[in-house]
Structure 1
């Protein structure tokens, strides 16, 4: 357990992420202050017009978080994570996407199955894995859990997680390789699965990377 002083702002596109990250903070990063920014409209617009369409809105939200004292920012939405990450230079603080550490782990494997509840999440997730794998290109198969997002939007969390678990258990391929859960909201489905494949979810490694970024930023500031 690592105690981390400092403040991390989290940009969410659903309020369901707030208790998840609070719980992870309490277990693994006591002392880290989390400030949650929830804007569901960002994902709606990104699905309709593409992630770049929300670039200005994301930049404004992150700038406000930094002005409010955030030492770093973590975007928990895979669809707009790349848009958020590119704001780091302008903001002067670390800006992380929650799925990068997960993608880096996945890229170590030759065969990868990416499971998503939203088609808009597939392209940025697959692109991120390709970026992390470099010349050692992995074989990536994608699966969209068509009925899952409707359950999520209806507030049927149990049905959503069950649908994700069934999709992972029925995903093509054998026990080799790894399964990537493209959205942070899928993480709690892991305990409902029977697959023998390694299943990767983004919240815990994503928060750990962000906590490390906060600690590094605080160390630089205190050393001035």
Structure 2
């Protein structure tokens, strides 16, 4: 998996920077979910090239981040500077951080790459302070059925063929129904604070709404969770 993403890190980062789903949907929604982060110590879990870390840092957060791809971390370091706390680490394995080190963890479109959510959620719970927040986005649980016609309830592999900045690639994701997500959160010691299905950002140009989204501002794509680490 790591070598797979290293191979198209530049293309992935370029697409993430400008695409409607990232620039005008997922990232603005995640920033709104985070709210006032001034002075908070936040871990960007699966930070990629660092756009979310950059945006949260600009709002006053003290950021750290990790990604399984060394190529992505190199891109993030170019963006955030040589002194940024960025590490190569894999979600699902022991993380190189202390217990209760962070006020918040943000994880944008990462968990759906993993079949088993137990170990990664347990590690994210470990590095959070009691009462800390895990803010995450994943593929919407109904998107698999809409896209493929596949069954809703089984947890199944979902390879997604995509074009990233003009380059074809396959993203190896897993479909997971909502009940399986919420059971995994509870088992890891999290309480659900909110579940979101937001519209695109109000800042999106009207011509993109009209020409690319067919006039829609809401659609099934990602789902957002705010979780609290149980005390």
TM range (shorter): 0.3 to 0.5
Q: Which has the higher strand share?
A: 2
With structure 1 as the length reference, what TM-score do the two structures score?
Answer: 0.38
